[in-house]
């Protein structure tokens, strides 16, 4: 089954404790991206990757890091989480950025 898998689905952490949210896709897509969803603000792009080892900042990259060492995986790293990073996070993949994007189920992160 074609899918984008994020883990964990829910995470509560404390300020400053490094964390990684994993994202994996099994569709051999080149384009992957991370979004955060906040009430009234829609989906805002954090980082995106056009292919292996090719990443770029989206609209809200501050406080986040990504890596794309393999085509299927695109982890999101929060080196020192802060409460303003409490949000619902989505990973997505697509053949290119102008094709249908397939989203994961989301990761609800709370930073206290």
Partner 1 sequence: GENVEQHPSTLSVQEGDSAVIKCTYSDSASNYFPWYKQELGKGPQLIIDIRSNVGEKKDQRIAVTLNKTAKHFSLHITETQPEDSAVYFCAASRGATDSWGKLQFGAGTQVVVTP
Applying CB under 8 A, the residues found at the interface with partner 1 are 4, 33, 35, 40-45, 48, 50, 56, 58-59, 90, 92, 97-98, 100-101, 103-106
Smallest separation (angstroms) from partner 1 to the CB of 28: 18
SS3 83: helix
Among residues 46, 96, 93, the alpha carbon closest in space to that of 66 is found at 46
Select 30 or 80, whichever has its Cβ closest to partner 1.
30
CB of 63 to partner 1, least distance (A): 18
CA distance 99 to 107: 23
Q: Which is nearer to partner 1, 35 or 64 (CB)?
A: 35
| CB nearer to partner 1: pick between 63 and 106 | 106
Residue with tokens 């989301």: 106
Question: Distance between CA 87 and CA 100 in Å, rounded?
Answer: 24
Cβ closer to partner 1: 77 or 88?
88
Classify residue 16 as left (phi > 0), alpha (psi -120 to 50) or beta.
left
What is the closest distance, in whole angstroms, from the C-beta atom of residue 40 to partner 1 in the complex?
Answer: 6
Q: Would you state the structure tokens that stand for residue 78, as one six-digit string? A: 């929060």
């Amino acid at each position: 089954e074609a899918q984008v898998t994020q883990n964990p689905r829910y995470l509560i952490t404390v300020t400053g404790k490094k964390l990684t949210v994993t994202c994996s896709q099994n569709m051999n897509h080149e384009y992957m991206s991370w979004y955060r969803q906040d009430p009234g603000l829609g989906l805002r792009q954090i980082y995106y990757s056009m292919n292996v080892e090719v990443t770029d900042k989206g609209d809200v990259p501050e406080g986040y890091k990504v890596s794309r060492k393999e085509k299927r995986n695109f982890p999101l790293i929060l080196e020192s989480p802060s409460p303003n990073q409490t949000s619902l996070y989505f990973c997505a993949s697509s053949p290119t950025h102008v094709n249908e994007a397939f989203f994961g189920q989301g990761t609800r992160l709370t930073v206290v």
